[in-house]
Chain A
């Protein structure tokens, strides 16, 4: 029940190497464990920048070179695979379309679902590899009955199981996360990289969205979707401001609303709703953000779909807290009811259900319902 793929027989492993420290250490650990490891850097941008700017992204020629140097030091073959077309279709265009529809997508999750553990994994398996290894912090546990479970990383602070919750049994069966058992600080991972002679030890962390090099998501969306002026209204429907495009907002957002007049009660206002149909953004007080339940679509289960309603904890965004819920699959929809109201639930994000540390499943949030007295 505690056996992980990396402790079983030697496998032919394809290590996805972004050029960052985590994936380099993961590949090194897989090789050290005796697996036959080949490193691959995914070229995801059709026109890569030559050099990395700031601490963002993994799509530059410099990152490719960093990955190559790490592979040299580990002593494994290394190649660059061009998945730019697939990435553009499945991740970037999906990202834009989701925002355009008034939702808030998670492109990292989409990349894991469609690229790393789909396009890349399928190609790897066809070429004779047994598994794809990444630097994610999560655990795959092989049960005695041969099925696999995805669990939170030993170190909750770095756990990335949320963005892996979309993986199904087959994908998990071929996933290897050598960092998942590590309870350690980032400094210790860096120290391990240093000890292994990996030059990426001192490289800044990548965060934000890799295909938006300057970190300006609003600017990126504006360029893609064009300026579309519309109204900002309050809960009564009264027009209290304008915006340059409803797609630029996220439920729960407070900053950047540019509303000249304060609310009557002087309290801050938040984005409550985004309506792409009439290009309107509704704002209101924090209390109106309270959500009592949600409906999610496209459920994916790690293992069998649960029969009947169950009690779980749910995570609603990357790095978000857990909250207790009851959830039930009704037809193709997942209905989730919060024990306590939660704030700032954005359609488009994933709801990932956990049973303790175990990932039960994941679905895409489609709609939320306000908390009412009887829910709380």
Chain B
């Protein structure tokens, strides 16, 4: 019935559904990275954190039967990785970008190692809320089956925007990111602020990982994340360290990432891999357009090594 009549309309619909489904990990990682980078440090290791989060969420959900415990475990794992990153970076003369690369490799390796026995079993998955009950078009209903984590992520973005502007914590993080000397002069430990900011960032990235293994695609395997973490880090740069822009950028990315599978579902299979690379090409293109060698980016925390 509707299936046939929709025809090519399935593509934008699937992209729309994908924007919501696929964007959730991007959203969590970019919001987490936004907090970390605002405090003046860049954590490239969130790619590894994402995979670790996915694995630990799946494992805990499988063992305990509760997917929400899995989400919590993923967050805690992420926070521990964040603490490791911040701990090493607080040593003198240690480069935060290099530590991020190391943790990217370590997180991926550790997740594959510990996750080996988890490829076979099926864990309890996160439930979805059916927002499409009013419609009888199956594709639309599928697109509107929305996970609670997505809603939480959407809620965190304005909350973070508000917190950066008005709360004491937001001000402290921004001070540490703009001028470590000023924060020190005010009597605050910059290392401690950054430790906390990196741990919170890792927590959110871990939760982003739990979405991958517990909702969409909803299983654990070694090809689960291919660069979503690093794409999300790049996304923070052109979202100009603004949590609300991170939200819109994540949605755009989710849509781009859903393009390949959407086209495949209507029978356009040639160039499938190229369409799958759409988010990376989009990231690169947007970075080329928005960056400039002559000035530092507006909104960039002054202490950030990547913008100096």
Q: Please determine whether chains A and B interact with each other in the same assembly.
A: no
Q: Which residues of A contact B (CB under 8 A)?
A: none
